[in-house]
Amino acid sequence: MPTTLHPDRYKWIALSNTTMGILMATINGSILLIALPNIFRGIHLNPLASQNEPYFLWILMGFLLVTSVLVVSLGRVGDIFGRVRMYTLGFAVFTVFSILLAATWMSGPTAALWIIVMRVGQGVGGAFLFANSNAIITDAFPADERGFALGINGVAAIGGAFIGLILGGLLAPIEWRLVFLVSVPVGLFGTVWAALKLRDNGIRTKAKIDWAGNFSFAIGLIAVLTGIVYGLQPYGGHAMGWTSPFVLSCIFGGIAILGAFVWIEFHVKEPMFQLHLFHSKGFAMGNIAGLLLGLARGGLQFMLIIWLQGIWLPEHGYSFARTPLWAGIYMVPLTIGFFIAGPVAGRLADRHGARNFATLGLVLTGVSLIGLQAIPIDFSYWMFALLLLLVGLSMGLFAAPNTSAVMNSLPANQRGAGGAMLNTFQNSASVLSIGFFFTVITLGLASSLPHSLLHGLTAQGVPLAQATSISHIPAIGSLFSAFLGINPIQTLLGAHILAQPGVHASVLLGRGFFPGLIAQPFAKGLHLAFLAAAGMCFVAAIFSWMRGAGVQRQLLVPSAEDEEGFAEVGDVVMAEAGVGSAGVGVSAGLNDAVADPHP
């Protein structure tokens, strides 16, 4: 049973626990980006073999897909059954599946399937955490402090993604299971701490679960995101799978089911998500801006890693085995920028409103992306670091004010579902963004890599027949190689060809040969992708500005069938005025009754 705490003390406990949970989940979401080479070596599976590409993609993206699908449903469940209860359950579920991942004993495809399924389980736990953390913070903090609190939580969400890169680079070479085991102590402590100290002081909505809405939303979103995952693989002689009947069926079928979901939500008595919330300009514009930034940002991390691991670091003397760790280290300026800007922007938004800071953050993000596309592939690091710092600062400038404005625009009994919708938009946008970035880069590579590879191989003495065959490797395979920090030339050529007279094996296996071949084709696609992402940021800035300015007060008036919730609000307001006794958490309860956003 949670203990009684003074509201001022409780709010910091709530923030600390939710920040720990989000940090744990986001670190685990990104730690695999660096650890994948060690994981595949540990389970004795070649990630570059065409039959193993689905394993690679699902291990990489399965966690994000599951959290995208479930977070709205679980946010609504938190509104009904209690946010703290669902959040604590998420901590426990995440910890159990972390233990099961660390206990992987199989090898080959069986081990890969086990890891995929266990990562899906981790994603379920992560969805519970993502769905309810913002609502718990909003319940605990007064309106004029929420921006700062949500800024801290946002720093954990974005910063954890980059901390995971460094942790993966440090732990995976020692023992690949450590990348999963590292979450277990945090998860055990966080679960017990949440169960003992957190309390539900928000408005709980009595309602039935909208099964039709939940299933249609889940099936539709899973279909679309699955189509995107398989669209990244070659099909029928094409570099990508976007013409595959399976991919087209998934995407268009999923869109149709999501359309049915919208119809269901307008017609059921107790919908999973109250679509009328989009009538609020602050809620609608904040979600659209967050969605567009997610589209711009989601694939950025992947492209920066490929740029560093596959090209820049090898060309500057780093062995392919060392590039994963150093890629994480060289991206630290981005994390620093977000760590600085997130809490500061949240505090400023509490005092002066969200619109100016969020909009400026989006504009500066677009400017920094234009800067990244303008520098050469073989850049000077100080220039790259400054641009990464600007990306971090500008994204931090947007994240906390936007989240605070969206959460403050919600009535208290819809904070779980409403906050979860914001997360769903951002997570789904990340998957869409990864598909977009990979598609643009792969198409650029597919058009010029075969010629570059053929010319480069024959110039180093590889016989024409073998060079011609190797030059037609799928372009996505070369991206995977760069992403995994693997030099594919040795695997492609084999010991027999490398040992032939006249073949310059030392050059072919050197650190500069393969990066030199993919640098220019990669640069063409990268420039286009960065410009498109910058354009999305500028459009997002327009929507952010359209949220409006000024201070609004919204009094929560529960529905007629929610009389118990209405009585609770009345008791809390009376207690704050000094009438009667509402027990513990009076200040936080008043925040449930009256939302006081700075749009």
Measuring CA to CA, which residue among 283, 187, 222, 261 is closest to residue 427? 222
State how far the Cα of 537 lies from the Cα of 546, in Å rounded to an integer. Answer: 14
Query: CB-hemisphere CA count at 13 Å for 489?
Result: 27
Within a domain: residue 192? no
State how far the Cα of 406 lies from the Cα of 146, in Å rounded to an integer. Answer: 11
Within a domain: residue 495? yes
State how far the Cα of 360 lies from the Cα of 243, in Å rounded to an integer. Answer: 39
Token pair for 38 = 């060690």
Residue type (1 letter), 442: T
Within a domain: residue 371? no
Are 43 and 104 contacting, i.e. CB atoms less than 8 angstroms apart? Answer: yes
Within a domain: residue 510? yes
Within a domain: residue 145? no
Q: How confident is the model at residue 598 (pLDDT cuts 50, 70, 90)?
A: very low
Token pair for 428 = 């789904």
Within a domain: residue 382? no
Report helix, strand or coil for 235: strand
The residue whose two tokens read 């709530």 is 14
What pLDDT, on the 0 to 100 scale, is given for residue 6?
Answer: 57
The residue whose two tokens read 């529905």 is 559
Are 18 and 174 contacting, i.e. CB atoms less than 8 angstroms apart? Answer: no
Domain boundary among 233, 252, 271: 271
Q: What's the sign of the alpha-carbon dihedral 309, 303, 328, 120?
A: negative
More confident residue, 183 or 473: 183
Are 525 and 475 contacting, i.e. CB atoms less than 8 angstroms apart? Answer: no
Please write the tens of the pLDDT for every residue from 184-230: 999 999 999 999 999 887 667 676 778 888 889 889 888 987 888 78
State how far the Cα of 312 lies from the Cα of 378, in Å rounded to an integer. Answer: 6
Question: What are the E-state strand segments in 485-579?
Answer: 554-555
What 8-state DSSP symbol labels residue 356? Answer: H
Please write the tens of the pLDDT for every residue from 382-412: 999 999 999 999 988 998 888 888 888 888 7
Q: How confident is the model at residue 485 (pLDDT cuts 50, 70, 90)?
A: low
Q: Which residues of 262-301 are buried (b: 16+ CB within 10 A; e: fewer)?
A: eebbeeeebbbbbeebeebebbbbbbbbbbbbbbbbbbbb
Token pair for 281 = 């300009």
Burial class (CB in 10 A: 0-12, 13-18, 19+), 169: buried
Is pLDDT at 575 greater than 60 in this prediction?
A: no
Is pLDDT at 542 greater than 90 in this prediction?
A: yes
State how far the Cα of 464 lies from the Cα of 453, in Å rounded to an integer. Answer: 11
Within a domain: residue 340? no
Same domain, 511 and 569: no
Cβ neighbors of 319 (< 8 A, separation 6 or more) are 511
Looking at the structure of the chain, the number of domains it has is: 3
pLDDT, average across residues 287-291: 91
What pLDDT, on the 0 to 100 scale, is given for residue 202?
Answer: 65
Within a domain: residue 257? yes
Residue type (1 letter), 39: I
Domain boundary among 518, 535, 550: 518
State how far the Cα of 588 lies from the Cα of 569, in Å rounded to an integer. Answer: 11
Backbone φ, ψ for residue 576 (5° rounding): -65, -30
| Domain extent at residue 574 | 560-595
State how far the Cα of 139 lies from the Cα of 42, in Å rounded to an integer. Answer: 44
What pLDDT, on the 0 to 100 scale, is given for residue 5?
Answer: 56
Please write the tens of the pLDDT for every residue from 236-275: 777 788 889 999 999 999 999 999 999 998 888 878 777 7
Please write the tens of the pLDDT for every residue from 82-111: 889 999 999 999 999 999 999 999 999 999
Please write the tens of the pLDDT for every residue from 324-376: 788 888 988 988 888 888 888 888 888 888 889 999 999 999 999 999 999 99
Q: Which of 55-59, 120-124, 128-132, 520-524 has the highest mean pLDDT?
A: 120-124
CA 399 to chain centre: 13
Q: How confident is the model at residue 584 (pLDDT cuts 50, 70, 90)?
A: very low
Query: CB-hemisphere CA count at 13 Å for 214?
Result: 14
The residue whose two tokens read 């085991």 is 181
247-255, Cβ contacts within 8 angstroms, sequence gap of 24 or more:
250/223, 250/224, 250/226, 251/223, 251/224, 251/227, 253/223, 254/219, 254/220, 254/221, 254/222, 254/223, 254/224, 254/225, 254/226, 254/227, 255/220, 255/224
The residue whose two tokens read 């990306």 is 391
Helix axes 381-408, 355-374, angle to 10 degrees: 150
**DSSP assignments along 133-164, one per residue:** HHHHHHHHS-GGGHHHHHHHHHHHHHHHHHHH
Token pair for 107 = 């090898």
Query: CB-hemisphere CA count at 13 Å for 353?
Result: 15
Residue type (1 letter), 519: A
State how far the Cα of 563 lies from the Cα of 557, in Å rounded to an integer. Answer: 10
What pLDDT, on the 0 to 100 scale, is given for residue 588?
Answer: 32
Average of per-residue pLDDT values in the chain: 81
